């Protein structure tokens, strides 16, 4: 059975798998087992189950260290999609309905954390993520389409921009300029 570091990572993995097949209304159940939680996603044609052992203390929402479920490019996709939602999507402050401040702040936090998770795959002293950091079809496709995105400089720059935008937003300034 697949194993996640945290419940948040398990849910994110299921959401990514559903998005890969164009399924946006994922039915998810949380089941308590003898020694773990099971997070079960029903894609209609396929049922995915991810185990999360009890007692895992997590310093980060998605867990410490390198993910074994979500590859580096998928984390990058989560980060860039989160930032795009704020800049141009359903969380953009476009003068119409103002988005909920807590949701916008949480989405900036997600972008920062997702880049951090991508950086976990970067070996000490390396300038670029290794091929072993990409194992999903989506990850491999993104690596081919955006090779420049998976360098130390680009990832740390993205993380700094997202964090700066989050801090500006928290200070009451517009935060949609994190390019």
**22 or 15, which is more confident:** 15
pLDDT at 134: 98
Quote the percentage of the chain above a pLDDT of 90.
66
Q: What are 102-123's pLDDT values in tens digits?
A: 899 999 999 999 999 999 999 9
Q: Compute the mean pLDDT over every residue in the chain, rounded to the nearest whole number.
A: 90
Q: Is the pTM of this model over 0.85?
A: yes
Q: What are 42-101's pLDDT values in tens digits?
A: 888 889 999 999 876 566 789 989 999 999 999 999 999 999 998 887 777 666 666 788
**173 or 7, which is more confident:** 7
What HEC string does the chain produce?
CEECCCHHHHHHHHHHHHHHCCCCCCEEEEEECCCEEEEEEECCCCEEEEEEECCCCCCCCCCCCCCCCCCHHHHHHHHHHHHHHHHCCCCCCCCCCCCCHHHHHHHHHHHHHHHHHHHCCCCCCCCECCHHHCCCHHHHHHHHHCHHHHEHHHHHHHHHHHHHHHHHHHCCCCCCCCC
């Amino acid at each position: 059975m697949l194993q996640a570091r945290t419940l948040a990572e398990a849910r994110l993995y299921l959401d990514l798998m559903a998005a890969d097949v164009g399924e946006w209304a994922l039915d998810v159940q949380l089941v308590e087992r003898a020694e773990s939680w099971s997070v079960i996603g029903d894609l209609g044609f396929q049922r995915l189950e991810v185990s999360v052992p009890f007692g895992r203390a997590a310093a980060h929402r998605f867990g410490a260290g390198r993910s074994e479920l979500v590859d580096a490019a998928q984390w990058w996709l989560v980060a860039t999609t989160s930032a795009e939602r704020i800049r141009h999507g359903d969380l953009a402050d476009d003068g119409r309905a103002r988005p909920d401040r807590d949701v916008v702040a949480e989405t900036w936090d997600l972008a920062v954390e997702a880049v951090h998770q991508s950086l976990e795959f970067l070996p000490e002293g390396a300038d670029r993520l290794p091929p072993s950091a990409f194992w999903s079809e989506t990850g491999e496709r993104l690596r081919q389409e955006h090779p420049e995105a998976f360098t130390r400089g680009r990832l740390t720059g993205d993380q700094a921009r997202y964090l700066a935008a989050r801090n500006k937003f928290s200070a009451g300034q517009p935060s949609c300029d994190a390019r």
